[in-house]
Structure formats: C-alpha cells, structure tokens
Amino acid sequence: MPFFTSIFMLYRRVLLAPTFARMITLGIIEDQAAFREALCTYLGAQPEFTCVLCAASHEAFVAGLAGLAQLPTLVLSGIGLPGHSGTEGLAMLRAVLPGAEVLLLSVHTDAGRVFEALRQGAVGYLEKTTPLPLLKEHLLQVAAGGSPMSPSVARHVARYFQLRAVAVRPSLTPRESDIVRGIEDGLSHKLIAARLGVRAPRHGAQPHPADIP
C-alpha cells in the first residue's frame, strides 16, 4: 500500500472513530491503594474512558469534585470503605452527581447486600475479583444502559427468588393434597369424592377443598 494511502487510511480511522467513548468520564472510589492504582492506571489508559478522579472514600471523592472541569458520568465504587460504606455512600453520590451511574465492586455477593445496593441506586454489582478487561466491558455495558452482575451474584439473586417462591407457596392440608392427587390421576369430581368417602358435589359444582371435611 502506498505511503500516502496508508497515512490517509489512518487519518480516516481516527477522524471517523466513535466519539461516544471519549465522553465517558470515570470516577473511582476504592480504599485499597494498590487496587485503586491498578484500576486508575488500567482504565485511564483505555481509549473509551477519561478517568477524572480516584479517591479512597466517598468523602474524599465528593471533596475532589469541586476542582474538576468535567464531572464523572460513571462511578466505580468499592464497598466497605472508610466513612460512608459503598451502599451508604450511594445516597451521597446521588446528591452531588444525580445523573451519574454507579457500579459497585465487592467481595460480598450475598443477595441481601446486593438488593440493598440496587435499592440505593447502584446499576450493577460485580465481584472484586473480576479481571480488568472484563471489568472494562461491564463499564461499557453500564454506559450503554445495561446493569451487569457477576455470574455468582446473579446466581445468589436467582436463588433468593426461588427460595422466596417456595416460602410463600400456600401449604396444603392432607385432605387438600388427596384432592390434588385425585385431579392428577384424572378422576372425576364424583370419583374423587368417593375415594375420600364424602358426599359428591352437586352437578356442575367444583369440589373445593374447603367444602370437604
């Protein structure tokens, strides 16, 4: 390929590259210094993000907003931080950055903690062990309107609803269970009543468990 053609193609790629990614201004809140530095260094080097603020607590993060030319539109926050925790600090973030999305990172994946975080305004919940390249993809999902969860977090949430469904399912008396078994066996109302040794229902009436002694 001729030299000038190569230059033109490169210029065209840069000129026509999507610009939405550069509009993702990112803030990071993490109290572990080494991990915070790794997040800031890696994500700040990605072409999709502009990392405008990294802090060790919500209080320090909010204080640092005053000196920014651009406010974060996306915040990645840990949980168990000094001062206000990750979930408690969500209210603080909503007050100063009402338009920002917040994605949480945590070593805790129990359903109760996840639901509390979502109730407080988080749009996603990830394990702290999420690899950095995958974390980047999850952040892009949030920017595109998604709500990512780590597989283990999603499993805990699904299990919670499964157990809740079992807990609220009404229990049957022994007689009601006999009626259900009769229906499962394909018996008519009269045959069900005969099996149970009770008076058959009136013609056209359904044998309701409450009507059978």
Distance, in Å, from the CA atom of 66 to the CA atom of 186, rounded to the nearest integer, reads 73
pLDDT confidence of 50, banded at 50, 70, 90? very high
State whether 63 and 89 are in the same domain. Answer: yes
Q: Which of 48-52, 90-94, 115-119 has the highest mean pLDDT?
A: 48-52
Residue 3 lies in a domain: no
Q: What is the CB-side half-sphere exposure of residue 125 using CA atoms within 13 A?
A: 28
Task: Provide the pLDDT for residue 188.
Answer: 64
What is the tally of structural domains in the chain? 2
Classified as helix, coil or strand, 169 is: coil
State whether 183 and 109 are in the same domain. Answer: no
State whether 62 and 144 are in the same domain. Answer: yes
Per the structure, the complete domain to which residue 195 belongs is given by: 174-211
What's the whole-number average pLDDT of the chain?
79
Distance, in Å, from the CA atom of 58 to the CA atom of 138, rounded to the nearest integer, reads 22
State whether 87 and 105 are in the same domain. Answer: yes
Entry pTM: 0.66
Task: Provide the pLDDT for residue 116.
Answer: 86
State whether 155 and 197 are in the same domain. Answer: no
State whether 36 and 135 are in the same domain. Answer: yes
State whether 47 and 144 are in the same domain. Answer: yes
CA 145 to chain centre: 12
**Token pair 């469904």 is at which residue?**
165
